[in-house]
């Protein structure tokens, strides 16, 4: 039996006031929720999305709230620290993408460790924060094992322009969200190095193949990779200069050093930390991820861009 959707006007807390947190707070308010937005520095809320006005009625606070539903929009590498400090409360929806360095944990694995017993879901898919904040049409995924939780989150957040689809494969959805950032760096590097659109199309397609292998090895489903949280997110992130990971790759392909690119940025480029963690997690499960390994090698200074390209082109010819 399916649970009835939770009525709107329930409280939602958004944890994190970066661009994505601000966009989610705006969307939750448009959906009719009473929204609390937590920021480490409440006085600086709004700096991440200049020119975008938040809807009225959003309460900004520096104290971690315990609302009915919590959307965690902090960078993945800070998720453990913030989630561990949360007071007891309702379900947790992780809106960050990536793999934790050191532990190699996916977002929901982190939440299961630090908040055991609480219902958890992942919100993921192709979504630029500025477009969500502006109310432009967007389709994303709510991934959770429990159907009732998926329906609850969808009922609270959905509006006609912000379309949410349920997905019962949170592992596959999380792998898609993590791997697409790494592949996007490679896609940007291909264009930055002047290798052409053919090469980018080939790289994205082969990236999807390794993403699918890893998702299945971790217990996910190959079909999930063909959906919004896999292919959809990868296409957006790997083709637009508005993507932080793609633009990082562009600069890398043009000869810039990783440290210099990062020094000029205030926002997190999640694929940089995710790349070595993704490769290590794949090795743990015996999965070949040559595109991600090439990115990790360049970022770690172990190989040059030219060597990475040569290694990928020299791979053994085989059936697709």
pLDDT of residue 48: 67
Same fold, 11-168 and 171-313: no
The first and second tokens of residue 107, run together, are 């977002």
Q: What is the mean pLDDT of each run of 10 residues along the chain (320 residues)?
A: 44 93 95 92 72 81 86 96 93 97 97 96 96 96 97 96 98 97 96 94 94 96 95 95 95 95 91 96 96 96 90 78
What is the reported pTM?
0.92
Pick from 52, 56, 58, 45: nearest CA to 18? 45
The first and second tokens of residue 19, run together, are 């661009």
Structural domain boundaries of the chain?
11-168, 171-313
Instruction: Write the DSSP symbol of residue 232.
Output: I
Cβ atoms of 164 and 138 closer than 8 Å: no
Q: What whole-number distance in Å separates Cα of residue 71 and Cα of residue 93?
A: 5
Q: What fold is seen in the domain 171-313?
A: 1.10.1040
pLDDT of residue 190: 95
pLDDT of residue 185: 96
Structural class in CATH, domain 11-168 = alpha beta
Burial class from Cβ neighbours inside 10 Å (0-12, 13-18, 19+) for residue 318 reads exposed
- Bridge partners of residue 70, in order along the sequence: 13, 92
Instruction: Write the DSSP symbol of residue 238.
Output: T
Backbone dihedral region of 117: left (phi > 0), alpha (psi from -120 to 50 degrees) or beta?
A: left
Q: Which position among 97, 151, 156, 180 bears the catalytic label?
A: 180
* Catalytic status, residue 180: yes
pLDDT of residue 4: 40
- Bridge partners of residue 120, in order along the sequence: 92
Helical ranges in the chain per DSSP H: 19-30, 79-84, 107-114, 129-133, 147-157, 170-192, 197-217, 222-225, 233-237, 244-253, 258-263, 270-284, 290-299, 305-313
pLDDT of residue 10: 65
pLDDT of residue 3: 42
Tally of CB atoms within 10 A around 258: 17
């Amino acid at each position: 039996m399916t649970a009835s959707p939770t009525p709107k006007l329930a409280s939602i807390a958004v944890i994190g006031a970066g661009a994505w947190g601000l966009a989610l707070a705006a969307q939750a308010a448009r959906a009719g929720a009473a929204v609390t937005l937590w920021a480490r520095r409440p006085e600086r809320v709004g700096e991440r999305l200049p020119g975008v006005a938040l809807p009225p009625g959003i309460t900004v606070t520096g104290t971690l709230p315990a609302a009915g539903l919590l959307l965690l929009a902090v960078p993945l590498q800070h998720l453990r620290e913030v989630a561990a400090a949360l007071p007891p409360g309702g379900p947790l929806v992780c809106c960050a993408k990536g793999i934790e360095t050191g532990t190699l944990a996916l977002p929901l694995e982190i939440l299961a460790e630090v908040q055991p017993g609480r219902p958890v879901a992942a919100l993921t898919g192709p979504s630029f924060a500025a477009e969500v904040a502006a109310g432009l049409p967007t389709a994303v995924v709510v991934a959770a094992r429990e159907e009732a939780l998926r329906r609850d989150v969808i009922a609270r957040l959905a509006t006609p322009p912000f379309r949410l689809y349920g997905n019962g494969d949170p592992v596959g959805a999380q792998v898609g969200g993590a791997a697409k950032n790494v592949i996007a760096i490679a896609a940007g590097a291909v264009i930055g190095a002047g290798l052409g659109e053919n090469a980018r199309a080939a790289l994205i397609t082969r990236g999807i193949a390794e993403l699918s292998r890893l998702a299945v090895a971790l217990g996910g489903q190959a079909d999930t990779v063909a959906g919004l949280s896999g292919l959809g997110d990868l296409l957006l992130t790997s083709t637009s200069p508005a993507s932080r990971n793609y633009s990082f790759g562009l600069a890398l392909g043009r000869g810039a050093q990783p440290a210099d690119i990062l020094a000029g940025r205030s926002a997190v480029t999640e694929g940089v930390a995710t790349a070595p963690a993704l490769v290590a997690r794949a090795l743990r499960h015996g999965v070949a991820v040559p595109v991600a390994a090439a990115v990790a090698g360049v970022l770690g200074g172990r190989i040059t861009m030219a060597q990475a390209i040569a290694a990928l082109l020299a791979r053994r010819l085989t059936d697709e």
